[in-house]
Amino acid sequence: MKNIRNRFTITISDINGSKHYLLHQVIKKIIIYFVLLVVLLIVGGSLFISILMKEVSSLEQRKEIAKKEYIVLKENFGKEYKELQDSNALLKEKIDVKTKEYSEIQEKVNNIEELIGLKPDITVELSDRLDKINFTSKQQQIFFDNIPSGAVLPQTIINTKFGWRIHPILKKREFHKGVDLKAKMRTPVRAPADGVVEFAGFHKRSGFGNLVIIDHNYGFKTYYGHLYKKMVVKMGQVVKKGDIIAYTGSSGLSTGPHLHYEVRFVSRALNPIYFLRWNKLNFKNIFKKEKRVPWESLVKIINYRFQIQKQQSSLPEPK
């Protein structure tokens, strides 16, 4: 019996001595450890799967939210894009109309030049051609009488320049088509050239309040905004250079008394400062500074007009 028992006994010896283990006890421990390992794996796997399922659920929720936000943004962008397309189409249409008008006027000017035998030398720069022309004081006066020139107020003090700016009331970026001139309430405003009053009254849509527009010769117009409530001129009235056409005020979208002054050529806004400072001492400077005006054609037409007047004045009076 001892031999049979020893056959199922496992002896482990080391420096501390020998230990005897029965085989069934060893197998039992192995099975217990294996079962514990399997249980740990199952529990750990269950916990890991549970965490993954929660993460997947969270991702699905975030995906649904992002999908809804994407749909909303897409719809809003679609509306804004369509509005932008419509706005661009409208602007393009306006630009095409103005370009056509400008081309028609330029063509008429060219036709007049051909009729009177005035043809520019295209091999010479425009500024050089104009510099070679000598203008008499009478010729200059024809320019100053017909084209906006000189001060419109007793003092020319600029508060806001021509160009891009932040609107002081609307608080948005916009292109300032004129200059704001500093002035006290009811300061007289004088016409910078001969012309006809195209508009005189309250202009709500532009924000200029009481507004006067004068149509001058050769395609020039001047605008006067934020005027005093009592109008001096009326539509259709002919005015001469130096006439009082209005008084400064603070009507419309205004933060205080001042004059909004614009100079336009064929509906194109020009920098008024060049015209406000235009006089006999710097007569030719404007030809170089304001290049959006076909000065050479205007010079030729005005000079031709001057020659006609000169010839007529030299004829003897009829008896």
pLDDT in tens, 67-98: 888 888 877 777 777 777 777 778 878 777 77
> Phi/psi at 223 (nearest 5 deg)?
-120, 140
- Confidence class of residue 189 from pLDDT cuts 50, 70 and 90? very high
* Residue range 246-262: mean pLDDT, rounded: 96
Domain shared by 159 and 81, yes or no: no
pLDDT in tens, 272-290: 999 999 999 999 999 989 9
Please tell me whether residue 234 adopts helix, strand or coil conformation: coil
Q: Is residue 150 part of a domain?
A: yes
Cα angle 295-299-305, degrees, rounded to a multiple of 5: 145
Look up the pTM and report it: 0.60
Q: Is residue 187 part of a domain?
A: yes
Q: Label residue 261 left, alpha or beta by phi (over 0 means left) and psi (-120 to 50 means alpha).
A: beta
Does 244 fall in a domain? yes
Q: Would you say residue 62 lies in a domain?
A: yes
* Of 67-71, 216-220, 254-258, the least confident: 67-71
- Tell whether the model's pLDDT for residue 32 goes beyond 50: yes
Based on the domain organization, do 210 and 265 belong to the same domain? yes
Domain shared by 64 and 178, yes or no:
no
Asked whether residue 159 falls in the same domain as residue 253, the answer is yes
Residues 149, 206, single domain; the answer is yes
The contacts found for 13-22 with CB under 8 angstroms, 24 or more apart, are: none
Question: CA-CA distances (angstroms) from residue 213 to 168, 191, 262?
Answer: 23, 10, 9
Is residue 197 in a domain?
A: yes
Q: What is the span of the domain harbouring residue 47?
A: 1-105
In a domain, 110, yes or no: no
* DSSP element (H, E) containing 118: none
Do 183 and 252 belong together in one domain?
yes
The verdict on 171 and 257 lying in the same domain is: yes
- pLDDT of amino acid 24: 67
**Given pLDDT bands bounded at 50, 70 and 90, which one contains residue 2?**
very low
